[in-house]
Amino acid sequence: MPDFTPNTHTWSRLKAALSVACEDADLSDAEKVYAECGQQHPLLWEECILPHRMKRCVKIGEGTFGEVFSTVNTSGDTVALKIIPVEGSEIVNGEDQKTFGEILHEIIISKELSSLKEKQQNQTHSFIGLRDLHCVRGCYPPDFLNAWDRFDQQKGSENDRPDFFENDQLFIILEFEFGGIDLENSNGTMASLVVAKSILHQVTAALAVAEEELQFEHRDLHWGNVLVKTTKLKTWSFLLNGVTHSVETKGVLVRIIDYSLSRLAIDDLTVSCDISKDEELFMGQGDYQFDIYRLMRQENGNNWSNFHPHTNVLWLHYLCSKLLSMKYRGPGGRGAKDTREELTRFYDNVLQYSSATEALKNCPMFQ
């Protein structure tokens, strides 16, 4: 369960922070979610996703939480729809459905990180942009089921086919900008280790900005949660404590996604997910990712509400190991050997830093 049961005072402050007009602070979790969606009650699927948009949907990803589809928005831009069943009694992909209280945690963090692109002191575009938010009721639409089947035939799905939901099932639809392809599925497609170095720099900078502005910890930054897309921009800028910095893109832009385990603070209110009793999460074997969950717990003493920015450094260490082990299209020219050595030095030394901010400021690779 999330560590998120705001009393009247903190909820009203949070509402101010999230600029959602709301006079009555004594709302149920359902009403809070509807308010975040700009709705009074759940709508029908086709009221939120118009039929021509449904027809163009393609499944692009999945998790135990639910499904991710791409489609176009009213402006013709590609967007990603993260569709999460909530509040129902049906077991989905082996898990209980999220409650409104739990989904509120992800909505709030998604909004806060998306709005970092507009901040005056600490600004970044590297967290996925949240474009829209809906709460819908009803069975899974046929167009989405067809897209689900195509994905299953081509790639194989680990999820249950979402055809068992009844007419009264509720879903939250988070509509994000299209951020590209995740690192795991980019293996073998990126040009060289020079690109990997830029990716690591962009991720570190984004985490530093969020640490400074929001006391943010991602807590689940595995290579499926880092998206990359090609860009013609040569450099990419961010603001850290009022100072503008830039990174060479090497032809890619990073977007960080999935905040279901994340933690941040707005004013004096902490929004976090208490995973202290989720034993299964800490029992994984076979990849460094699973060690990171145990290392985080070791560092925070299984208290998930306090700020421990070194967890971001643990994930940078993990991401560096993945980037070093990935395959690349080309040798990367004369600089490739030097870049591999730089990344290896980063891997050997990054854990000494107390936060992503400290790593960004002091790590030789970023100077």
Mark whether 220 is an active-site residue.
yes
Q: Give burial (CB, 10 Å; 0-12/13-18/19+) of 193.
A: buried
Phi/psi region, residue 290 (left: phi>0; alpha: psi -120 to 50; beta: rest), is: alpha
82 marked ligand binding residue: yes
Arithmetic mean of pLDDT, 62-67: 92
Catalytic residue among 3, 149, 152, 220: 220
Confidence of residue 10 (pLDDT cuts 50, 70, 90): very low
Give the pair of three-digit tokens for residue 188.
């073998």
List the beta strands (DSSP E) in 151-225: 170-177, 181-182
- The CB density around residue 219, as the number of other CB atoms within 10 Å, is 23
* pLDDT given at position 25: 60
Confidence of residue 3 (pLDDT cuts 50, 70, 90): very low
Alpha carbon of 135 to those of 39, 76, 174, 175: distances in Å?
Answer: 8, 22, 9, 11
Give the three-class secondary structure for 209.
helix
Task: Give the orientation angle of helix 335-349 with respect to helix 310-325, to 10 degrees.
Answer: 150
Q: Give burial (CB, 10 Å; 0-12/13-18/19+) of 122.
A: buried
pLDDT digits (tens, 9 = 90+) for 151-185: 999 999 999 999 999 999 999 999 999 999 999 99
Ordered by where they begin, the domains of the chain are 2-178 (3.30.200.20), 182-366 (1.10.510.10)
pLDDT digits (tens, 9 = 90+) for 30-62: 999 999 999 999 999 999 999 999 999 999 999
Entry pTM = 0.92
pLDDT digits (tens, 9 = 90+) for 184-210: 999 999 999 999 999 999 999 999 999
pLDDT digits (tens, 9 = 90+) for 114-158: 999 999 999 999 999 999 999 999 999 999 999 999 999 999 999
Instruction: Please name the residues in contact with 271: beta carbons below 8 A apart, sequence gap of 6 or more.
Output: 2, 3, 4, 105, 108, 109, 263, 264, 265
Place of tokens 């013609």: 232
d(CA 351, CA 367): 18
Q: SS in 3 state form for 84-146?
A: EEECCCCCECCECCECHHHHHHHHHHHHHHHHHHHCCCCECCCECCEEEEEEEECCCCHHHHH
Please say whether the dihedral angle defined by the alpha carbons of residues 226, 227, 233 and 234, taken in this order, is positive or negative.
positive
Beta bridge partner(s), residue 177:
79
Q: What are phi and psi of 310, to 5 degrees?
A: -65, -20
Place of tokens 């599925």: 185
Arithmetic mean of pLDDT, 359-367: 97
Give the pair of three-digit tokens for residue 73.
């928005």
Enter the DSSP assignment of 167: T
Confidence of residue 9 (pLDDT cuts 50, 70, 90): very low
